[in-house]
Structure 1
Amino acid sequence: MDKTKKIGLIPKLIAAIILGILIGKFMPEVVVRVFVTFSSIFGNFLGFLIPLIILGFIVSGIADLGSNAGKLLGITAGIAYVSTLIAGLFAYIVGVNIFPSFIKATNMISDAVNPEEHLLKPFFTIEMDPIMTVMSALVFAFLLGLGIAAVKGDGLRKIAFEFQQIVDKTISNVIIPLLPIYILSIFANMTYAGEVGRIISVFWKVFLIVIAMHFLIILIQFSIAGAISKKNAFSMIKNQVPGYLTAIGTQSSAATIPVNLKCAENNGVSKEIREFVVPLCATIHLSGSTITLTSCAMAVMMLNSVSFTLPQMLGFVAMLGVTMVAAPGVPGGAVMAALGVLQTNLHFTEAQLALMIALYITQDSFGTACNISGDNAIAVIVDSIYNKKKKLSRS
């Protein structure tokens, strides 16, 4: 029993994908439709939760940042946001130039129809309309978060953080445990429709390209940090290895903070800066997650013959940088927080959202490792800026 509890989410998802493929290939239609019915109900529940997830993450995240308002916060948050934008733009450039070579040329048919037209329908559906639209939730979250940060009272602040805990528990105790069955159901349906082979043949290549981009962005981040601080970038990357490996094992930015603080110390970051920047960036800086989400989203759209533009993808990345605030504390939090943006900016369907969840979480540990590595590069940059200002003020 204890051993079962220790099985990680990634092995469960991999097993779910394999089982889903087997069920879709060898089981009769009625069995597949049972799973399709489950996925329909679960998908509607997930759609109902998306605005609540946005409110739970963003309101408390902005309120918490506002309580620590100051120049240091502004500098750190600004650098973290720019880093996220650069990571997303980098992923877009790589995706546009490389993905078509193995998606369009070998996997797309010029007169292809919408793959969802071949999917089985559920026996019945249960409608669960969201209490507000995604855009309304975003606007309300910004307004409430900034308002809580500005006023002195603690009433709304406590409500916001308690509501975040409710959302956390809903994701941890309901969504995550049922996610493997949901993914199994989606893959069973896609296999029955004859679509899964095409998808798998594409995404193992996407996965390898994403990992390569993670390594490249880490090199770029530490090269910039080295140029600003006059430190050796490769030495700092070597010092970051324990943090990177810990993140792969824990799949959590928050759980990696103690090790990451030690890495920052080894890179010569002052105590006051590393103890502020590293925990803060663990919740606001997700360059690795942005690369993964952007790349997977582009691949999903290419698979479905959906066109997209640079302004559209930049808007998607810009919103990701905000909506994922405070998401790393939750298992699969980054992709959960991104669901609303995928719906509004890129018009993803339920099946496409499910595919994004599966694709993201199966490599979440690598994205997390990239995130926390970038956190320490930012810590080096902020420390260098802070110490320069200190010297100027003394002189």
Structure 2
Amino acid sequence: MNTSTQSISSPHTSTLRNYADILLLLSGIAVGSGIGLIFGKQVESIKFIGDIFLNLLFTAIIPLVFFTIASSVANLQTSSQLGKLFGIVAGVFLSTVLISALVMMAVMLMFPIDQDNSLRSMAAQALIDNPTNAAHSSGTSLTQVLTVNDFFELMARKNMLALILISLLVGFASLRAGEKGKVFAQFLDSTNEVMKQLLGLIMKTAPLGLGAYFAYQVGVFGPQLLGIYFHPLALYYLTCAVYFVVFFSLYAYFAGGQLGLRVFWKNNLTPAITAIGTCSSIATIPANLLAAEKMRIPEHIRNIVIPLGAPIHKDGSSMSSIIKLALLFAMFGQDFSAPQMFFAIMGITVIVSIVEGGIPNGGYIGEIFAITAFGFPMEQALPVAMVIGTLVDPIATLLNANGDLVSSMMVARVAEGKDWLRSRMKE
């Protein structure tokens, strides 16, 4: 009798357990969005709840990234294995960024943005409203992006690439130390597990935190989606939605066939919602790592691809770079479709997608780089690029973060063979 009852109720219990976190997260976001629609700018009073959640998340992410990457590299068996893995990761990252840029480029050529004088007036107004934006240094060099001049600066999110470089070097040094480095490698692995548990605790508050954050976004910034930017935003959001569904499905199918499709779409909802709610690829790292574990992606692959991809692999940012450039070309009367501009636009787009930060509104560095590269007047061009960058940030972050997840599947496919997923599902 007891056995029969258990066998009947077990599937329902299992389903509830699998989807409880997702349902709570969706409920929190739905309630928060409703509050934002009803109360408008009054929701600014509860924004602090979302800020607390994000601050906790960002505080824990710095050590998570360090110990995740360092422990993964330190526990690789050989340095040749490390080199091979990074070669595969680089190939997958570059391929998807170029594909996403080409898709957006094709859309902009088919539906070009006409020059609009009101863009110039909007740029002038934005400059008046935000006079400090134009003063943002455009001298960000490779040295500043990849290194810092003091250890404590590694703790800042803006220096994420420098932190990742040090993490890789620490892991590689531990690997080279051989037997003498094993104790340190065990320490890295143990601390990595502690940080994962800490992030698991923080993510328990996600329904409340993201609910408050969504209430603020909907209540305060919703109306800005209309007006002069409607045409480019509509093109961008529609193209990104198609890319998300169609191309990510193709990537998942390449990674694991029909099984890969099912596994990806079953497990990517929480990372997708986290990405949209936080507008931060870095803040989505914990959700991506948890999803990748459920998807049976090998630990040494997911622990490198996802933290490394957050700051440097950005399909959504490459697409937003294209539409920003199209707007600026129209604004200053230049021919975006000129054949001689194609390789320059694509090259700048790839570079911008790498140098942009993985934090909310971190694309300003990339925008300044692109504006400088094409010689647009900073005072007029930067405010327009910043407004567009802010408005496209949610879906751009969705593609950036989910792109890391599906890329980890493709890396596993190339590194482990075509039957990697099926064999792991049998374990």
| TM-score, normalised relative to structure 1 | 0.59
Q: Distance in 1 between matches of 2:394 and 2:123?
A: 33
Q: Distance in 1 between matches of 2:309 and 2:277?
A: 19
Q: 278, 286, 290: which one pairs with 1:262?
A: 290
Q: Deviations over 1:62-113 (max 9, x none)?
A: xx99x9662212211222122112211211110111134xx35xxx4xxx79
Q: Is 1:224 equivalent to 2:251 in the alignment?
A: yes
Within 5 Å, give how 1:45-194 maps onto structure 2: 70-100=83-113, 103=114, 108=116, 115=120, 134=139, 138=141, 145=146, 159=149, 168=158
Q: Deviations over 1:342-368 (max 9, x none)?
A: 222352432221111111112312111
Secondary structure of 1:159 counterpart? coil
Q: Is 1:243 equivalent to 2:271 in the alignment?
A: yes
Q: Deviations over 1:305-338 (max 9, x none)?
A: 2223354354234234334436434331123333
Q: In 2, are the aligned partners of 1:215 and 1:370 still within 8 Å (CA)? A: no
Relative distance call for 1:215 and 1:118 in structure 2 (3 A) is closer
Q: Distance in 1 between matches of 2:123 and 2:135?
A: 25
Number of equivalences: 281
Relative distance call for 1:220 and 1:129 in structure 2 (3 A) is closer
Aligned to 2:330: 302
Relative distance call for 1:316 and 1:348 in structure 2 (3 A) is farther
Relative distance call for 1:303 and 1:322 in structure 2 (3 A) is closer
Q: In 2, are the aligned partners of 1:316 and 1:346 still within 8 Å (CA)? A: no
Q: In 2, are the aligned partners of 1:84 and 1:285 still within 8 Å (CA)? A: yes
Identity over aligned pairs, percent: 19
Q: In 2, are the aligned partners of 1:252 and 1:368 still within 8 Å (CA)? A: yes
The residue type paired with residue 253 of structure 2 is G
Q: 402, 410, 426: which one pairs with 1:373?
A: 402
Q: Distance in 2 between matches of 1:246 and 1:167?
A: 18
Within 5 Å, give how 1:254-333 maps onto structure 2: 254-308=282-336, 309-325=338-354, 327-333=356-362
Q: Distance in 2 between matches of 1:288 and 1:205?
A: 18
Secondary structure of 1:221 counterpart? helix
Q: In 2, are the aligned partners of 1:79 and 1:378 still within 8 Å (CA)? A: yes
How far 1:281 moved relative to its partner? 0.9
| TM-score, normalised relative to structure 2 | 0.55
Q: Distance in 1 between matches of 2:144 and 2:314?
A: 20
How far 1:371 moved relative to its partner? 0.8
Gaps of 5+ in 1: 9-63, 146-156, 170-196
How far 1:301 moved relative to its partner? 2.2
Q: In 2, are the aligned partners of 1:282 and 1:372 still within 8 Å (CA)? A: yes
Secondary structure of 2:333 counterpart? coil
Q: Deviations over 1:215-270 (max 9, x none)?
A: 22222133133124324464223421221111111111111111112222333322
Relative distance call for 1:4 and 1:248 in structure 2 (3 A) is closer
Aligned to 1:52: none
CA RMSD of aligned residues (A): 4.1
How far 1:5 moved relative to its partner? 4.3
Q: Is 1:344 equivalent to 2:370 in the alignment?
A: no
